[in-house]
Amino acid sequence: MQTTMVAALGALLLGVIALTPGCADQAAATGTSATASTRHQLTGAELYSIHCNRCHPERYPTERTAAQWKTITLHMQVRANIPGNQARMILKYLQDNSGR
Amino acid sequence: MKKHMKTSRWMTGLVAVGCAAGMGAAPRAAAEVSQADFDSLKDLVLKLSDQVQSLRQTNQLEQQLHEQDVQQIQQLQAKLAETSRTATDAQQKAVAASQTAPMPRVPIDEATVNHNFQILGDAEVQYAKTSGQNGSFVMADFAPIFLYRGGDNVLFESGFDFILQNNPQNSNPATPGATTTVNLSFAQLDYVINDYLTLCAGNLLLPLGTYSERSAGWLNKFPDSPLARGFVPGNGVGAELRGAAPLGESGALLNYAVYGVNGPSSSDNTGQAGSLDLGGNVGLRSDNVVANLHGNPTGGGRVAVFVPFKPHYDLELGLSAQSGEWDNAGQHLWTAGVADATLHLGPNLEAKGEYIVSRYGSDDLGNVTQQGWWAQVGYKLAGLNLEFPGINNLELVGRYDSVRDGMGGSTQRTSFGGVYYISNALLFEGAYEFLHSTDPTQADQIILQLSYGF
């Protein structure tokens, strides 16, 4: 019983998140975050170096083609729980520097 | 220079003619010239001879200067030849470079197509030597991963494990040799609903802790898994909603996942403690009967925060749990909780670990509580800035494991090892494991492994 309730609550929470896409972006845009003004928007290269070697040794952009990166980045986005907009920035960085 | 030479030759000639004339005239004139005249003439001759002398010296000097000039000219000529050679060299090099320089980037059509299929994966070869047994090579694993992407939001991903094993020695003599088994580690369809949520369905890697989702030979720094992972399933058949939302703009994330899967079952339909089967209950029996082996599905989920302080410095803390009936009669619950942590302090230092506890009811032993934890630290020697060859490719790792199975068994294991990175995806790993266990079949062992992520 308890488990079912916990799961239901979790599903509800996720439902709310699902229905309000862009909520975090809005908060940032309106400057509600106190530190937002002092911090800059992270670039694709920075996001790449934050995420892409924390679970495994870094895989270099030149190791794959632009097309392959599109598929692999989606794979990693799901596996590593990277928000879609950040994954797109990482993908752009990888494709701009990809091998051919 | 030339003008000087001509003048000096002309003057020498003049002096010689003068002298000859003077000598020829001398005997006839001797009687007529006075002493004074003679003296002045003598003076003149002496002066002339002095002049000749000094002229000869200047000439010699000039000769020397000339030789020096000739030498200088030769040197300059040589230098000129050399300069023009380097110039042509440079020109040739420039031409060659301009031929090999990358062409300006043009968009690749392939990158814009909607569908893409790829095979990734990893392969491992192991050598293991357990104390008291023969050491041997073990072709442990060939684990291809198939990725199929359709558009921007759909991905099908599946991973296999091909494992080659010796048949048991006392097995049917008609089937000697070895057997190849194929395991489906995961096979899931992912649909990206929006930037913060993805729906996954199929044979899922479960986010119970992080180990199962983050393991492959070239990811693990030890050739084998932490012991406590044996208390929770690595995958389950069902559906999952997962994703992450940014916390501010520093890159910090809130990670979440909820799922429902068939869950653990009983290997012999009973509720005996020893019958708990974490890996079973996949919805289909081998006699083709579609069956969930107990009445209700199992639910689970994970929440975590990931905080990057700057690139390569981050902390991730997660809590996850799963609970549901496990026995066929639906009398007993199996519940597990995992706390996981991962810390990076710079590109060279990583520490991670998990605390795992599970409890389940049983017909024979009542409630069984299993618990264990593991912690692992890795340090890449590149951080020491030493000059020894190869040392910058070496990472030293240590791991401590402790488990209590709730039925009287317990094991502690301390492992030391090293990873030599031949490249970022080709690793040579070695570990020595010291074991203390209530199970007498467990012993110290040494494991060597070559892992490749492709």
Position A1 confidence tier, pLDDT thresholds 50, 70, 90: very low
B359 touches chain A (CB under 8 A): no
Position B18 in a domain: no
Query: Do A1 and A49 belong to one domain?
Result: no
Nearest CA in chain A to B246: A24
Query: Do A67 and A90 belong to one domain?
Result: yes
CA dist., res. A25 & res. A17, Å (int): 13
Query: Do A50 and A69 belong to one domain?
Result: yes
Q: Does B219 contact A83 at a Cβ distance shorter than 8 Å?
A: no
Q: Does A78 contact B155 at a Cβ distance shorter than 8 Å?
A: yes
Range of A20's domain?
1-39
Position B3 in a domain: no
Residue B127 near residue B137, CB atoms below 8 Å: yes
Query: Do A62 and A93 belong to one domain?
Result: yes
To test the contact with chain B by mutation, choose from A1, A51, A69, A81 the residue with the greatest count of B C-beta atoms within 10 A, namely: A81
> Token match 């048991």: residue?
B168
Q: Does A55 contact B241 at a Cβ distance shorter than 8 Å?
A: no
Q: Does A75 contact B116 at a Cβ distance shorter than 8 Å?
A: no
Query: Do A49 and A98 belong to one domain?
Result: yes
Q: Does A53 contact B216 at a Cβ distance shorter than 8 Å?
A: no
CA dist., res. B369 & res. B116, Å (int): 46
Position B255 in a domain: yes
B245 touches chain A (CB under 8 A): yes
| pLDDT of res. B225 | 94
| pLDDT of res. A35 | 41
Nearest CA in chain A to B307: A50
CA angle A46, A81, B380 (to 5 degrees): 55
Stretch among A13-22, A39-48, B86-95, B398-407 having the lowest mean pLDDT = A13-22
- Strand runs (DSSP E) across B97-135, as ranges? 115-130
Between these two residues, A37 and B315, which has the higher pLDDT value? B315
| pLDDT of res. B330 | 87
CA dist., res. B428 & res. B127, Å (int): 11
Position B33 in a domain: no
Position B11 in a domain: no
Residue B432 near residue B224, CB atoms below 8 Å: no
What is Dmax (Cα atoms) for chain A? 55
**Residue B288 per-residue DSSP state:** S
B324 touches chain A (CB under 8 A): yes
Query: Do A47 and A96 belong to one domain?
Result: yes
**Residue B225 per-residue DSSP state:** -
Position B76 in a domain: no
Give which of B392, B371, B372, B378 is closest to B343, Cα–Cα. Answer: B378
Query: Do A50 and A25 belong to one domain?
Result: no
Query: Do A23 and A47 belong to one domain?
Result: no
Question: What pLDDT, in 10s, does the model give residues B321-374?
Answer: 999 999 888 899 999 999 999 999 999 999 999 999 999 999 999 999 999 999
Range of B387's domain?
126-453
CA angle B239, B242, B243 (to 5 degrees): 160
Position B253 in a domain: yes
| pLDDT of res. B288 | 75
| pLDDT of res. A39 | 58
Q: Does A55 contact B257 at a Cβ distance shorter than 8 Å?
A: no
Tokens linked to B194 = 């929006």
Residues 6+ apart with CB under 8 A from B246: A24, A28, A83, A86, B252, B253, B254
Query: Do A49 and A17 belong to one domain?
Result: no
Query: Do A8 and A47 belong to one domain?
Result: no
By Cβ distance, the residue of A4, A17, A66 closest to B196 is A17
A99 touches chain B (CB under 8 A): no
Tokens linked to A58 = 């870094």
Count of A-B CB contacts under 8 Å: 162
Buried residues in B167-178 as b, exposed as e (16+ CB within 10 A): eeeeeeeeeeee
| pLDDT of res. B10 | 46
Residue B213 near residue B207, CB atoms below 8 Å: yes
Buried residues in B185-223 as b, exposed as e (16+ CB within 10 A): bbbbbbebbbbbbbbbbbbbbbbbbbbbbbbbbbebbbb
Instruction: Check which CATH number belongs to the domain holding B380 and give it.
Output: 2.40.160.10
Name the stretches of chain B with pLDDT < 50: 1-30
CA dist., res. B278 & res. B283, Å (int): 13
The dihedral of CA B18, B19, B20, B25: what is its sign? positive
| pLDDT of res. B434 | 96
Question: What pLDDT, in 10s, does the model give residues A69-88?
Answer: 999 999 999 999 999 999 99
Per the structure, how many domains does chain A have?
Answer: 2
Q: Which residues pair with B374 in a beta bridge?
A: B354, B401
CA dist., res. B363 & res. B374, Å (int): 30
Q: Does A41 contact B249 at a Cβ distance shorter than 8 Å?
A: yes
| pLDDT of res. B103 | 59
Per the structure, how many domains does chain B have?
Answer: 1
| pLDDT of res. B106 | 58
Q: Backbone dihedral region of B269: left (phi > 0), alpha (psi from -120 to 50 degrees) or beta?
A: left
Query: Do A34 and A47 belong to one domain?
Result: no
The CA distance from A6 to the nearest CA of chain B, in Å, is 9
Position B69 in a domain: no
CA dist., res. B98 & res. B111, Å (int): 27
* pLDDT for residue A29 is more than 60: no
A73 touches chain B (CB under 8 A): no
Buried residues in B281-298 as b, exposed as e (16+ CB within 10 A): bbeeeeeeeeebbbeebb
Residues 1-30 of chain A whose Cβ lies under 8 A from any Cβ of chain B: 2-4, 6-7, 10-11, 13-14, 17-18, 21-24, 28
Between these two residues, A38 and A34, which has the higher pLDDT value? A38
Tokens linked to B42 = 């003598």
The CA distance from B148 to the nearest CA of chain A, in Å, is 8
